[in-house]
Structure formats: structure tokens, C-alpha cells
Amino acid sequence: MTNTDIVEQTKLAFDFVQKLYLETSYFIKEIEGTLQQEEEEFRILKPAGYAISAYRSVGLDSTLVEQWFIRKGAVFFAAKDDAELVRGQTVTKIKPGLKLVVVRFVLYDKDLEAPEVWAGVTSDIIQKKEYSKFEYHIWKFVYYEKKIFRDTGEFGYEDGDCAFKLNLFKRPLYGISSSEDIQREIIDPVLTCYRSK
């Protein structure tokens, strides 16, 4: 392979990854727009502005270099009455009955056969320490993903700060290619689970 070939392959690789990120952002925004139109008028949680929650690294240690590209991310949605907007961020106070919709995308993992999307409901949230909002706990869904997104179905998570229940399902990300697919594969099952809690 010549230097010219390597330069061209590098450009194609980065162009592809950028297109994948854009498509993923459109996917999340379509879910957001659809959930906003529901009777609960869901809001996307903004722990640090309008963004996904993802593990990022610029470290030079080889284990940190593996995290230079975003491979996974998550977003949360709360009913409008539960998530107050304050200076571009949301404040979702932990209280009895609080339920949140979670949507997580996985573009790559070493054991993953194909990209997937996880979705479901987080409920029965108990805080053990004095935190004023759920947004303080979102980082756990990224850093402790193997414990939290370990399986589909209903199960619990607990650590020294908080405890909560999850009810999750997953779908092949590339099997969802239209607004109708998003409605049928993500929105409808999430709302059924959310409203039955």
C-alpha cells in the first residue's frame, strides 16, 4: 500500500465515522421529538448541556487510547413535570415515583456482533447520599455499563450512592431505518413499560 492509498483510506475511515455519528444524533433527536409530543411531554435530560453521556478520553495510556472515539452513549428523558430547566441544564429531583426513559446506543464493543440500541425505564430510584438531582448519577450508566446494562428484562442496581430498578430491551441499531421503525421498535415498547410502572 502506498502513502497515497493510506491517506485516502484514513480520510474514508474518518468520513465514515463522522457520518455514523451524524446518523446516530439524528436517531436520538427523532426519539426526542417523538417523546416530546406524548402526553408526558418528555424532556431530554441535560446534565451538562444538550449532549449525550459517553465515556471520553484523551489519555495516552493504551487502555485510554481505546476510548478516543465515542463507541457508546446514553440519553435520558423525564416527564416535563419532573425535569425543570435551569440555565440550559435540567434538574430532575429524586422523589418517590420518579421514572426515566433511558436510550443507549452501542456502535462498537470488542464482543459485539453488530451495533445495537438499548432502551427502557429506570424507576424506584433511591438516593443514599445527599444529591439534589438524578443528573448526578448519569455518569454511572457510562462508567459502570457492564453492571447496569448487563441484561435485558427487569433487574436492580445498587451502589453506595443510590439504587434503582431497570427494565430494558435491546434492538439491532441497523434494523431501525425509518420513523415507523423508531415508533414500533423503541417508542411504543418504552411507553408501554413507562406507563405500566
Band the pLDDT of 90: cuts 50, 70, 90.
Answer: very high
- Residue 64 has a pLDDT of 78
Band the pLDDT of 62: cuts 50, 70, 90.
Answer: confident
Query: Which residue, chain included where needed, has cell 406507563?
Result: 195
Band the pLDDT of 65: cuts 50, 70, 90.
Answer: confident
pLDDT tens digit string along 142-189?
A: 999 999 999 999 999 999 989 999 999 999 999 999 999 999 999 999
Mean pLDDT, rounded, for 48-74: 84
- The C-alpha atoms of residue 120 and residue 54 are separated, in whole angstroms, by 18
Report the helix count and the strand count for the chain, using DSSP H and E. 6, 8
- The C-alpha atoms of residue 130 and residue 145 are separated, in whole angstroms, by 23
Residue 94 predicted with pLDDT over 80: yes
Distance from the Cα of residue 131 to its chain's centroid: 21
CA separation (Å) from 80 to 17, 84, 99, 140, 176? 33, 7, 12, 23, 27
Instruction: Name the grid cell of 24.
Output: 446516530
pLDDT tens digit string along 19-29?
A: 999 999 999 99
- The C-alpha atoms of residue 144 and residue 79 are separated, in whole angstroms, by 25
- The C-alpha atoms of residue 98 and residue 111 are separated, in whole angstroms, by 34
Q: Confirm whether pTM is higher than 0.75.
A: yes
Residue 84 predicted with pLDDT over 90: yes
Contact 168, 153 (CB under 8 A): yes
- The C-alpha atoms of residue 91 and residue 78 are separated, in whole angstroms, by 10
Average pLDDT, the chain: 93
- Residue 102 has a pLDDT of 98
